């Protein structure tokens, strides 16, 4: 949770700014492929966006790649509403205000109790 000072001043840690890459992905979702479009194997990650294999750090740090990777880690309750961009951004903002991440690694390791 945000500290009292951060909440009062409407200040968030810097890492949530990176999570807004997902807004780009949600807005332009038609530009990306789902894993289910790449292969016919029924896995639990079928509805995740496909990440192309790349060893280039510059590509991995780009908005499209990072946005897809971060988007894939979102709770299903948020990903399922990504077709409605305004609602998606609203839910994403609530999610970011509820959970504070100080690094991308912390975000990837977090287990969410998203019941609201």
For the chain, list residues with pLDDT below 70: 1-20, 112-116
Residues 49, 54, 57, 62, CA torsion sign: negative
Spatial contact of 60 and 67, defined as CB atoms under 8 Å apart: no
| pTM for this model (two decimals) | 0.73
Cβ count near 66 (within 10 Å): 20
CA–CA dist 115, 64 (Å, integer): 29
The pLDDT value given to residue 86? 86
The pLDDT value given to residue 1? 47
What's the chain's average pLDDT?
A: 77
């Amino acid at each position: 949770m945000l500290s009292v000072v951060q909440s009062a001043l409407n200040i968030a840690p810097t890492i949530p700014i990176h999570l807004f890459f997902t807004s780009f992905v949600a807005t332009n979702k038609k530009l990306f492929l789902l894993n289910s479009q790449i292969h016919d194997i029924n896995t639990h990650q079928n509805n995740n966006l496909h990440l192309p294999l790349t060893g280039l750090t510059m590509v991995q740090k780009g908005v499209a790649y990072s946005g897809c990777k971060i988007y894939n880690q979102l709770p299903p309750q948020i990903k399922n509403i990504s077709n409605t961009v305004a609602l998606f951004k609203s839910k994403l903002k609530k999610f970011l205000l509820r959970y504070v991440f100080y690094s991308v690694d912390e975000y990837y390791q977090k287990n969410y109790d998203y019941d609201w």
